[in-house]
Amino acid sequence: MKQRTLVGGISILGITGLICKIVGVLYLIPLANLIGSEGLGVYNQIFPSYNLMLTISSAGIPVAISRMVAARMARGEARNPNRVFKAAFVILSVLGLISTLLMLGFSDRFAQATGTAESVHGFMMISPSLFLVCVMSAFRGYMQGQRRMWPTAISQLIEQVGKVGIALPLAFSFMQKGGYPMGVAGALLGTSIAEAAALLYMSIDYFFVRPGMQRLIAQDTRPLEGYRTISRELLFTAVPITIGACIVPLAGTVDSFMLVKLMKAYLPEQTALSNYGIYAGLVISLINVPTALAMAMSSNLVPSVSAKREARDWAGVKRDSAAGLRLAVVIGLPSSIGMSLLSEQILTLLFHSRYTAEQLRLGGQLLSISALTIVVFTLVQASSGILQGLYKQRIPMYTLALGVLVKIAINYTAVQQPDINIFGAPYASLTCYIISAGLNMYYVAKYARFKLDWQELLLRPGLATLIMGVLVFALSSLLGLRLYRSWLYMGAVILVAIAVYGIAAFKFGAIKRSDLPARFQKGQ
């Protein structure tokens, strides 16, 4: 039952997500060293298009499955949640197959659209992942709706470990045959194989727990819903969520088409590609590490809020909504400030063997700005999850669309200015998420029927973060160049910062005893 509590579920997916993101960054180091900044630029021109098609195929339906299963289980049903899964499995399998065939058949068109013809083999190699992840999303949505978070967590670990064990050797092998474009293709083929392994695990887990489900289904005498009715509700729920989820990958795809072309107007093509590779491949990958906790919050808030709404437990809806927003800031704010203060040191430690001091300095400056998006992105994800659980899934779609339109406008006007260059991109993203988070929080307060407590939400975690930030700044000034050269010193600074922040957050009341595991709540 521990994983069925809100904080417990966030912890399971959040810690696993952090591990996966860290493994992903560690995977990126040898990959970047192998294929170089130009290869990394090609790699990150392929991934936004892949993510966009993947989002169109699979993003909305798993959330809809999770919400529909949680609502029916809150009513004590067993047969209808199973029928939701079966309907979703068929829909996602068909969508995944169509997406794979489209990417495979039009890989040359995708490559031409990016402006890098060498990316065609990469699009071909990553295309099977679209089908595999779509099918896996049906299993994940069903299990998350039951508040079983471990299968999703373990499958995510299999994906990441598989990339390291399979994608790197394939990238090296392909690199020997055709340079960095084929190295990119080998890495992406390894990603597809890793997704197949994760899907195999999810299938095995489902068949092991199926007998227990069948016993509950046999005891359920409530009326069965028709597959047509279920499919209609799935699609009605999923379409606005999918459109909303597509907006960020679409913005990434626009970046992959727009930024290099804008910079090529005043920079050599290789320099423009290298700058984009540093921003999209190094900086964005690093800020995605702490945002794993944001995704965990969203995945847990949807079924939790939905089940309480179905039971008309508005006090529970208010409690979970307030806790979700507060935890978003408690986690996101220190992550933003800490990474911003240590940006160049972290990048230098990770990538010094392949990139020049000038490239690392550029990456550090970009990361110091981009890191500030972590807290607002975490708030966007938490508030979106709450609104989706409240059956207000259209609102996050509209607010994020508005933010992305502003982002594209800033990119277009700023990046084409030689004196601003690639620095326009992180400011554009930061503005995008601030707009979306602010509007989402207004609607969360309105529909969850509570007033935002700014002392709980900002003041308490802000004070704890200030203490941590001053300490990190002092330690980085004291240690100087040693932080650029030694993981031991960097690890010590990070651990001290986490400990000080944790103590300060607990003392100021940003972290409450109710957020802790039960064995630590004594004396409450």
Q: Are 237 and 171 in contact (CB under 8 A)?
A: no
pLDDT band at residue 114 under the 50/70/90 scheme: low
Q: pTM (2 decimals)?
A: 0.75
CA-based nearest residue to 91, from 120, 134, 48: 134
CA-based nearest residue to 516, from 524, 296, 13: 524
Residue length of the chain: 524
Q: Quick count: other Cβ atoms within 10 Å of Cβ 109?
A: 12
Q: Which residue carries 């890495």 as its tokens? A: 187
Task: Quote the radius of gyration of the chain (alpha carbons, Å).
Answer: 23
Higher pLDDT, 227 or 221: 227
Q: Which residue carries 């069948």 as its tokens? A: 214
Q: Are 458 and 324 in contact (CB under 8 A)?
A: no
In sequence order, what DSSP letters do the residues of 247-268 get, joined into one string?
HHHHHHHHHHHHHHHHHTTTS-
**Start-to-end C-alpha separation, the chain:** 21
Mean pLDDT of all residues in 298-314:
79
- Residue 517: the pLDDT is 53
Q: pLDDT tens-digit profile of 154-188? A: 888 888 888 788 888 888 888 888 777 788 888 88
Decide: helix, strand or coil at residue 159: helix
| Long-range contacts, stretch 222-228, CB < 8 angstroms, 24+ apart | 222/75, 222/76, 222/77, 222/79, 222/80, 224/79, 224/80, 224/83, 225/80, 225/83, 227/83, 227/86, 227/87
Higher pLDDT, 386 or 353: 386
Question: Residue 472 and residue 466: Cα distance in Å, rounded?
Answer: 10
- CA contacts within 13 A on the Cβ side of 89: 14
pLDDT band at residue 514 under the 50/70/90 scheme: low
Rounded to the nearest integer, the mean pLDDT of the chain is 84
Decide: helix, strand or coil at residue 452: coil
Burial pattern 220-236, b for ≥16 Cβ within 10 A else e, equals eeeeebeeeebbebbee
Mean pLDDT of all residues in 71-81:
84
Residue 165, both tokens: 């064990």
Mean pLDDT of all residues in 254-279:
84
Q: pLDDT tens-digit profile of 357-393? A: 888 999 999 999 999 999 999 899 889 888 988 888 8
φ, ψ of residue 392 in degrees (nearest 5): -115, 50
- Return all residues near 508 (Cβ < 8 A) that are at least 6 apart: 460, 461, 463, 464
Q: Are 389 and 67 in contact (CB under 8 A)?
A: yes
- Segment among 249-263, 418-432, 467-481 with least mean pLDDT: 249-263
Question: Residue 427 and residue 333: Cα distance in Å, rounded?
Answer: 17
Mean pLDDT of all residues in 72-87:
86
| Long-range contacts, stretch 426-431, CB < 8 angstroms, 24+ apart | 426/279, 426/283, 426/366, 426/369, 426/370, 426/373, 427/369, 429/370, 429/373, 430/369, 430/370, 430/372, 430/373, 430/376, 431/403, 431/406, 431/407
pLDDT at 500 > cutoff 90: yes
Q: Identity (one letter) of the amino acid at 22?
A: I
